[in-house]
Amino acid sequence: MLPPLAADGVALGAGYLLGSIPFGLLLTRLTGGPDIRSIGSGNIGATNVLRTGKRGLAAATLLCDILKGTAAVVLASSLFGREAALLAGVAAFLGHLFPVWLNFKGGKGVATYIGILLGLAWPFALLFGLIWVAVAAASRYSSLAALIASALMPPALWLRGEPDVAALFALLTVLIWIMHRANIARLLNGSEGKIGAKPAP
Angle at 68 (CA atoms; ends 64, 73), nearest 5 degrees: 150
pLDDT in tens, 19-58: 999 999 999 989 888 888 888 777 888 888 888 878 899 9
* Mean pLDDT on 135-143: 94
Q: Which pLDDT belongs to residue 197?
A: 64
pLDDT in tens, 105-128: 999 999 999 999 999 999 999 999
- Whether the per-residue pLDDT at 200 is higher than 60: the answer is no
pLDDT in tens, 83-104: 999 999 999 999 999 999 999 9
Characterize 126-153 residue by residue with b for buried, 16 or more Cβ atoms within 10 angstroms of its Cβ, and e for exposed: ebbeebbeebbeebebbbbbbbbbbbbb
> Helices 4-19 and 55-80 meet at what angle, rounded to 10?
180
Q: What is the mean pLDDT of the chain?
A: 92
Q: Which pLDDT belongs to residue 201?
A: 43
Helix ranges (H only) for the chain are 4-19, 23-30, 46-50, 55-80, 82-97, 110-120, 122-139, 142-159, 163-179, 181-189
Instruction: Give pTM, 2 decimals.
Output: 0.93
Q: Which pLDDT belongs to residue 2?
A: 73
For the chain, give the percent of residues with pLDDT over 90: 78
pLDDT band at 1 (very low <50, low <70, confident <90, very high): low
